Amino acid sequence: MDVGLLVQLGAIAAVLVVLWVLPDWEVHRRRARRWGRRLGVVAAEPPGQSGPPIERLAADAARIRSAIRQAPSGTPAARIRGWLKAYDDVLVQACRALDLEQRLDRLPPGVELDFERERVERLQVRAGLLGDPRR
């Protein structure tokens, strides 16, 4: 076969491939990235933010902690338990955002949960999320 004919056939094939790929460019791009990640050629995409911003979590934790500490005597126990549950939920979300280990969502109410809450507070103070818990 003639070399010129091979070049012409290659150019025609390239144009046909481009015309085939162009309409579904995004589909093919995602597929190529997926294969690249499987083969280790393309770096994995960083995970997207799956929760509220860390600033909001810090503000919520400070607000709830303040409400618990400044609760007047005679505040119903159910309200205090609700605040503690909300506070634990915010601490769990913050731990996930900061990639800190916690067991707040697995422990039953009691002394062990209280100690875990204190431990998590100290971790988050060291991480810069919460202010000093003694204040």
Tens digit of each residue's pLDDT (9 = 90 or more) over 29-39: 888 888 888 88
What pLDDT digit, counting tens, does each position of 56-109 carry? 999 999 999 999 999 999 999 999 999 999 999 999 999 988 888 999 999 999
For residue 19, tell me if it sits in a domain. yes
Question: The pTM is what?
Answer: 0.62
For residue 47, tell me if it sits in a domain. no
Instruction: Let me know whether 35 and 59 are in one domain.
Output: no
**Cα–Cα dist 11/3, whole Å:** 12
CB 102 within 8 A of CB 93: no
Structure tokens at 61: 């934790």
Whole domain around residue 16: which residue ranges?
A: 3-39
Instruction: Let me know whether 65 and 122 are in one domain.
Output: yes
